[in-house]
Structure 1
Amino acid sequence: MQSDTDFASEPGPVTTLAEGKAYALHNVIVLDGRVGHYPISARGYAPCNCYLLKEPDAALLLDTGFGIHRDAMIAQIGGLLDPGTALSMSVMRLNDYLSVGNAVPIARRFGIRKLYATIQTAAGSLDFESRNAAEAEANRALMPVEQITGNEWINLGQQGRRIKFNQSPLRLINTRWIYDPLSRALFSSDMFAHSWSATPRDDWTLTAATDTTTEAGVRRFMLSTRYWWLEGARTDELRRELARIFDSYPIETIAPGYGFILKGPEIVERHYRMLDEVLRKLDQSRTPPRYVAHNEDHYV
């Protein structure tokens, strides 16, 4: 079996979400039971996805990837950024290595105009390199924090491209979803990440024509990963908040932090409806509450 390092040295594929405006940066991991984002029994390959939103004078990077993909991420960003572009950054899950692993190396290489974060001390949370107080202070200075609530619009570039931050309606840890009206893409962090591939590939996009996901598969994925607590939970409020997001924006792409990108209004609607139905059936009014052990794998 190929190891993680086999996929770390060279940049992975890049998916264009909107030409010149929005890109997905993929770097592949091997699923062999060690990656907590996927069920223990999952075998195959999945991309870690970071995203770059571009304007002529500014860009916004969403997440920074695992540390093992540092060189690949820097190469991907460098291949997309124009000289002189002011790069800002936002991490969608501040306490998840997939989001934060390469923040300092990226900031050192490209410079960061703003780090959008909900806490003023966020830059310190992204530092995995400093060995003393002086280095820690220098690394924090690489990422000036622009504190936000995490539920507002920001402007990207002088032309004022609007980007909407949203608190995730369904989460285990503090998570933000981001909506880009220009590409009509919803960047959904660790939700809608319920897919992987049996083989490595260059195309990490699912369309209505290629999608074989089932409602049962979505349920198994949720309960086998960080959403084990949903079985017998009160899900009515979660469903209302989820509906609010999908009713508020015209979404044509769901772009998760890992797994396949869902491309097209038809597949977006289908996966939203599957998730909503899973939540409806898991509600305590229909399913008795039950503790799901960490090592219990619904795929076995």
Structure 2
Amino acid sequence: MTTVVNPPSRSMSVSDSAARTLANATKTVPQMSSITPRWLVHLMSWVPVEAGIYRVNKVVHPESVRIECDNYDESPLPDTFVDYAREPREYRLKAVQTVLDLHTRISDLYSSPHNQTAQQLRLTIEAVKEHQEGELINSPEYGMLASTADTQRISTMTGPPTPDDLDALITKVWKQPAFFLTHPEGIAAFGRECTRRGVPPATVSMFGSQFLTWRGLPIVPSDKVPLENGKTKFILLRTGESRQGVVGLFQPGLSGEQGMGLSVRFMQIDRSAIASYLISLYCSLAVLTEDALAVLDDVEVDKFHDYAPSYR
């Protein structure tokens, strides 16, 4: 007796779930949504500081320096001198620090294809750098907002940020201004206002990204600029020591240096097999002259404002 075995149906196949047991998934490194481009840190002028102290010497009463043109009657020229402040301000570097703890079992067993220690350190360092940018803007001791002189602060004329407002900032920082800084919502509000007025701002390419500009000055976004109750701020700054501008300060030559002012040092492995690493970032910021920095306050960014275009 002959037994006929029917061939398998053409529609039958191993299932996806079964097939996955033999497949290797391509894995990304951990993605962290709080990481930003940190354009401010890239655009700042940075000065290495010896022994963690930066002293800003200033001239007092510069208007008292007497200069005259040559006299045809050959009378003597005036004598003069330049006087210095006797108690100049000193800036001390501040530490942004944290301790990373990682069980050695984790790093030993689960480090393929991505090294667990390296990824934990990378993500923690990114968080430290994000905090650094926030301190450069908001620190009550040395941040740009706290360091702006009262004479360098203005309020918006209409609510939303307008070209007139940014022009007013430029009059405050007219000696070689470098760039504007504001919250991304502030940039969107300014773009809408320019469109409403029929003067769309030009763009410029930096670091492979496009930035809106006004009067040729880039408008740089940072989510560390305060945004409260639908209002934010615009900051305009001049950078660099040679321009008597705003400078960032960092400590070079640190033990375990991983970047500008950043160090990573292994601390210990305790009796519970927890490995600890100290991540430190030393930085500060100095405003060399008052007219190097200006702030536009009370900028409304409510996207539901009446932005209907006016036709002429």
Judging by fraction of residues, say which structure has more strand. Answer: 2
Q: TM-score, structure 2 length as denominator?
A: 0.22
Question: Which of the two has higher C-alpha Rg?
Answer: 2
Q: TM-score, structure 1 length as denominator?
A: 0.23
The higher-RCO structure (CA 8 Å, 6+ apart) is 2
